[in-house]
Amino acid sequence: MKTFHCNHCGSLVFFENTCCLKCKSTLGFLPERMEIATLEKAGEGQWRVPSASAGPEQYRLCGNGVRHQVCNWLVRSDDPEALCEACRLNQVIPDLSVAGNLNRWAKFETAKRRVLYTLRHLGLSTEANGPATKHPLRFSFLADPPGGPKILTGHSNGLITFAVEEADDDVREKRRIALKEVYRTLLGHVRHEIAHFYWGLLIERPSKQDSFRLVFGDERASYSEALKNYYSQGPPADWNQRHVSAYASAHPWEDWAETFAHYLHIQDMVETGAGFGLSLHPQHPAAPSLSTDLKNLKDLEQDLDRIISAWLPLTFALNEINRGMGLPDVYPFVLSELALQKLRFVHEAALSFAKREATS
């Protein structure tokens, strides 16, 4: 995530802000510009975004922002849709008459919009422009119905379903411990499930599947049996030599999803670090391997190895800072050479797809 500033007073503002805390200006996110913009009232329900290059442009606040205060994205005045591009992807939202569901949904929406920002930054479309059998990305946020069955988070034919109770910290932490996971967040969930969607767009064709199988394994192995074995027996003892996480060892599809999610973790952290101009120059014997200057990465976006070399020192520093506050590591993972090979595969597949989208 890059840094944003209020166009009126110059203060630092953030991706989720709807108001500048210093000058109280109303703010909104412009997807086409990838910017948080300062808004001026322009009549009933209309807002103006001053633009030196194109003249004033008028927008509306997303309907979900107006009605439920869960979104800060903008909709062009000439757009017939009431919802923004992010909220239009929702197929089902939870029953908001149930206590707590509005807050749970709002937390998921925050995570979803952050992931959509990163996908836009990488040039990855959320629409399935490939074979007719592909489905565009959609979301359902569901609560367990009275008497069951329990809602399971997962992806099927473009539709990603989230169990909204995962937005409750106590529920999510209990499951994290039960499943022996070192990392479990709503943002991580969205990145992982979106990865399954992009497997269909980036990999599911003969020209890519053979190379995928050489790196990740044969996804034609029984998925249900693989998960059954994983949950009954746990990961293999050497999983950390070949995978980014223990769960990635369950099946090639999960290996892809976990690796793709880590790729999005890295891209987001790098852009954030670069936006703040972060650099590390420690004064001790290990300094050469712990030095970095993230603000120089803007010209290296297509070189994953150089990105990772510059990014890893940041994780060491942030992990240690978190430990100083008694918090979990920001990035509690160690990347083996085989895991890095898989990250390179994801990077190359994403770049190739983005180039096709840009020219189509």
Residue 74: what pLDDT?
Answer: 95
What does the pLDDT read at residue 73?
A: 96
Cα 140 → chain centroid: 16
pLDDT of residue 298: 63
pLDDT at residue number 301 = 61
Query: What pLDDT is attached to residue 55?
Result: 53
Structure tokens at 191: 């990145």
Q: Are residues 91 and 70 in the same domain?
A: no
Q: Using CA atoms, how far apart are residues 202 and 164, in angstroms rounded to an integer?
A: 28
**69 and 96 inside one domain:** no
Q: What is the arithmetic mean of pLDDT over 3-17?
A: 92
Q: How far apart are CA 42 and CA 69, in angstroms?
A: 21
Is residue 128 domain-resident?
yes
- Does the structure show a pLDDT above 70 at 128? no
Quick check: is 299 in a domain? yes
Lowest model confidence (mean pLDDT) among 49-63, 138-152, 196-210: 49-63
Higher local confidence (pLDDT), 329 or 281: 329
Same domain for 55 and 117? no
Residue 50 has pLDDT above 80, yes or no: no
Tell whether 109 is covered by a domain.
yes
100 with 181, same domain: the answer is yes
Over 60: is that where the pLDDT of 325 sits? yes
331 phi/psi in degrees, rounded to 5: -130, 90
Report residue 44's pLDDT band, with 50, 70 and 90 as the boundaries: confident
310 or 285, which is more confident: 310
Domain assignment present for residue 277? The answer is yes
Q: Is residue 211 part of a domain?
A: no
Range of the domain at 263: 243-360
321 has a pLDDT exceeding 50: yes
Residue 224 forms part of a structural domain: no
Instruction: Give the per-residue pLDDT at 360.
Output: 67
Domain boundary among 85, 108, 130: 85
Closest CA to 141 of 71, 73, 192, 87: 87
Q: Where is mean pLDDT largest: 126-135, 195-204, 215-224, 285-294?
A: 215-224
pLDDT tens digit sequence for 262-276: 999 999 999 999 889
Whether 138 and 91 map to the same domain: the answer is yes
Rg of the chain over Cα atoms, rounded to whole angstroms, equals 21
pLDDT exceeds cutoff 80 at 357 = no
Please check whether residues 248 and 345 belong to one and the same domain: yes
Counts for the chain of helices (H) and strands (E), in that order: 10, 13
How big, in percent rounded to 5, are the helix, strand and coil portions of the chain? 45, 15, 40
User: How many whole angstroms separate alpha carbon 149 and alpha carbon 151?
Assistant: 7
pLDDT at residue 219 is higher than 90: yes
For residues 194 and 120, membership in a common domain is answered with yes
> 352 and 252: one domain?
yes
pLDDT exceeds 80 at position 134 = no
* Number of independent structural domains in the chain: 3
Judge if 58 and 95 occupy the same domain.
no
Examine the fold and report which residue of 147, 171, 202 is the final residue of a domain before the chain moves on: 202
Lowest mean pLDDT among 76-90, 199-213, 256-270: 199-213
Report the alpha-carbon distance of residue 200 to residue 209 in Å, rounded: 10
Residue from 242, 203, 232, 237 nearest 220 by CA: 203
* pLDDT band at residue 236 under the 50/70/90 scheme: very high
- pLDDT computed for residue 189 by the predictor: 95
Counting residues of the chain whose pLDDT is more than 90, the rounded percentage is 66
Let me know if residue 226 belongs to a domain. no
In this structure, are 310 and 251 located in the same domain?
yes
Report the alpha-carbon distance of residue 68 to residue 62 in Å, rounded. Answer: 10
pLDDT of residue 136: 85
Read off the pLDDT of residues 332-352 as tens digits, 9 standing for 90 and up: 999 999 999 999 999 999 988
The yes-or-no verdict on residue 133 having pLDDT over 50 is: no
106 and 75 within one domain = no
Q: Is residue 181 part of a domain?
A: yes
Domain stops at, among 202, 228, 252? 202
Q: Please, which pLDDT band fits residue 290 given cuts at 50, 70 and 90?
A: confident
Q: Read off the pLDDT of each residue in 278-287 and give the average, rounded to a whole number.
A: 81
Residues 132 and 192 both lie in one domain: yes
